[in-house]
C-alpha cells in the first residue's frame, strides 16, 4: 500500500487540534499542515525496528541516559507538524517533554525507509528534523542494507557514520553506542 496525502481544501491547514479529532484507526502524520496516511509496516520493517530499538533501549538503560520509544508515538514539533518516527530517543535531561505524546524535538530519531516512504523520509523529514533541531537522524535502508547516521552541526546535518552490508555505525548523541549493520538488517 502506498502512503497517500489525504485530500483537504487548499485553504485549510491542518493543526495538532485537527489531528486529535481524527476518529478512524488509520495512522497519520501532519507535516506542514498536510495530512499523510501511513500504511501498515511490513514484517521486515518491524523485525528491523525491534532489533534496533532493543539495542538502543539496552544501551540507554544500562547507561541511564534517557528514554527510547518505538512507533507509534506522536511527536509534536509544531502546531502544524506531528510525526511518528520509527524509533526515538530523549535524553534524561529532557524527559519533561515526554507526556502521553512527545512535545518537542527528540534527541535522536530513526526512520526505516521503504520504497513508498523514501521521498518523505530522505528529503521531507530530513529537512524537517534538521529545522526542528533533532540532534541525530538515522536512515535505515533495508533493501540496500545501508544505515546512515546524520548529526546536527551548526544547524545542518553532516554524515557522521554509515555502513553498507557490513560494518558498524555509531551514534554522536549516545557516546559509545555502535550497531553492526549485518546484525540488524538480516
At 58-85, the pLDDT tens digits run 999 999 999 999 999 999 999 999 999 9
Cell of 6: 489525504
- Residue 116: predicted pLDDT: 87
Q: Where does the chain have alpha helices with state H?
A: 16-20, 43-62, 118-119, 125-131, 181-184
Residue with cell 495538532: 16
At 137-168, the pLDDT tens digits run 999 999 999 999 999 999 999 999 999 999 99
Task: List the chain domain ranges.
Answer: 41-184
pTM of the model: 0.91
Q: How many helices (H) and strands (E) does the chain have?
A: 5, 14
Angstrom CA distances, 113 to 1, 60, 154, stand at: 14, 24, 26
Q: Which helix (H) or strand (E) holds 152?
A: strand 146-153
Q: What is the DSSP letter of 71?
A: S
* The listed CATH number (3.40.50.2300, 3.90.180.10, 3.90.1570.10, 3.90.1150.10) that belongs to domain 41-184: 3.90.1570.10
Amino acid at each position: 500500500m502506498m502512503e497517500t496525502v489525504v485530500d483537504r481544501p487548499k485553504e485549510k491547514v491542518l493543526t495538532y487540534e485537527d489531528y486529535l479529532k481524527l476518529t478512524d484507526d488509520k495512522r497519520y502524520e501532519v507535516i506542514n499542515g498536510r495530512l499523510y496516511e501511513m500504511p501498515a509496516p511490513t514484517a521486515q520493517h518491524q523485525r528491523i525496528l525491534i532489533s534496533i530499538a532493543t539495542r538502543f533501549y539496552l544501551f540507554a538503560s544500562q547507561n541511564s541516559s534517557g528514554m527510547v520509544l518505538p512507533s507509534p508515538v506522536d511527536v509534536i514539533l509544531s502546531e502544524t507538524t506531528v510525526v511518528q518516527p520509527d524509533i526515538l530517543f530523549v535524553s534524561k535531561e529532557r524527559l519533561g517533554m515526554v507526556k502521553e505524546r512527545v512535545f518537542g524535538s527528540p534527541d535522536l530519531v530513526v526512520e526505516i525507509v521503504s520504497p513508498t516512504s523514501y521521498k518523505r523520509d530522505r528529503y521531507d523529514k530530513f529537512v524537517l528534523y534538521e529545522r526542528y533541531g533533532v540532534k541525530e537522524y538515522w536512515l535505515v535502508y533495508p533493501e540496500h542494507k545501508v544505515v546512515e547516521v546524520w548529526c546536527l552541526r551548526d544547524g545542518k546535518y553532516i554524515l557522521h557514520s554509515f555502513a553498507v552490508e557490513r560494518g558498524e555505525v555509531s551514534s554522536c548523541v549516545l557516546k559509545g553506542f555502535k550497531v553492526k549493520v549485518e546484525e540488524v538488517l538480516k
